[in-house]
Amino acid sequence: MNDLLSVEHVTRIFALGGLLGRGQFAAVDDVSFSLKSAHPEIFAIIGESGSGKTTLARMVLNTLAPSKGLIRFLGDDISRFRGRRDRLQFMQKVQPIFQNPYEAFNPLKRVDRYLFASAYYFMERRSRDAREAAADEALRKVGLSLAEVKGRFPHELSGGQLQRASIARALISSPALIVADEPVSMVDASLRMSIVNLFKTLRDELKVSIIYITHDLATAYYISDRVLIMQKGKVVETGPARQVLSDPQRPYTILLRESILSPDDVDKAQPGVAARKDKRFANE
């Protein structure tokens, strides 16, 4: 049985500078992990900015090619997918969700356009009614309905609704894997949990595996099965979520864990000042 996704020693190098003094840096450096097809899971990739997590996501989605290493999806090397038909087949099974719900939709176009296009291309629904039915079905899975979304422009919906519409669009093709890049960081706190809960439903009821990329350890702890911690392009630690986050082994993971703010800190006499004295925070 093939792995659903197998990332093998993937490295991505970017060139810096102009004609003189060209430098290089590795945004992603020898990262490997794999997701099994047998049972769907939520796999969290945790890292700060500059850790390479977004670059890794783009490589998994096949919008960026690795400089070294290989990514396999269901056994096939995805860099071989060049022609339109191959790419459509791949996209049908692997879908993205973006960080900024307002940027994910063209502000001048209506939101249902992307839902109908997905239904048209991935489900071969040619007639208008069939497309609307497919869109409505997907929207209901995320707690919305076509009536709420039809004919609306992005600015007429809230961040939470837009993000859920994005998820519905990704679900139309019945994908096996969803790559979500910081899906709730730009959504308001009060709407955040509904989307995080939705991911749980996607895994449990619709059997979709999710790569959940975030810098927020609290939500990662709440829903993921396994985590991968990245720093400056390298893998720092990986393993089952509860284990890594409750009992971190590596210094960087320990640092991340201790940097989390908690609402209970309000009871401390001088919140945050204790951190000042800790030398680890002095430089970066």
* Site residues (CB under 8 A) for another protein, limited to 101-120: 103-109, 113-115, 117-118, 120
- Contact criterion met (CB below 8 Å) for 255 and 280: yes
Q: How far is the CB of 119 from another protein (least distance, A)?
A: 9
Shorter beta-carbon distance to another protein: residue 77 or 148: 148
Interface positions, 170-229, toward another protein (CB under 8 A): 170, 188-194, 196-197, 215-219, 221-222
Other beta carbons within 10 angstroms of residue 258's beta carbon come to 12
- Contact criterion met (CB below 8 Å) for 219 and 192: yes
Phi and psi at residue 127, in whole multiples of 5°? -80, 155
Question: Could you give the count of Cα atoms lying within 13 Å of 151 in the half-sphere of its Cβ?
Answer: 2
Closest CA to 241 of 257, 227, 222: 227
Distance CA 240, CA 44 (A): 10
Verify binding: residue 139, another protein, rule CB under 8 A. Answer: no
Stretch that binds another protein, among 17-25, 130-138, 232-240, 272-280 (CB under 8 A): 272-280
Q: How far is the CB of 85 from another protein (least distance, A)?
A: 11
Q: How far is the CB of 260 from another protein (least distance, A)?
A: 6
Three-state DSSP at 20 gives coil
Verify binding: residue 270, another protein, rule CB under 8 A. Answer: yes
Interface positions, 232-251, toward another protein (CB under 8 A): 245-246
Verify binding: residue 25, another protein, rule CB under 8 A. Answer: no
Q: CA of 209: how far to CAs of 59, 63, 88, 102, in Å?
A: 17, 19, 19, 25
Considering only 91, 134, 210, 244, the residue that binds another protein (CB under 8 A) is 91
Q: How far is the CB of 40 from another protein (least distance, A)?
A: 19
Shorter beta-carbon distance to another protein: residue 235 or 256: 256
CB within 8 Å of 134: residues ≥ 6 apart: 115, 119, 123, 125, 172
Shorter beta-carbon distance to another protein: residue 57 or 235: 57
In the shown chain, the binding pattern of residues 29 to 68 toward another protein, with x for contact by CB under 8 A and - for none, equals -------------------xx-----------x-x-----
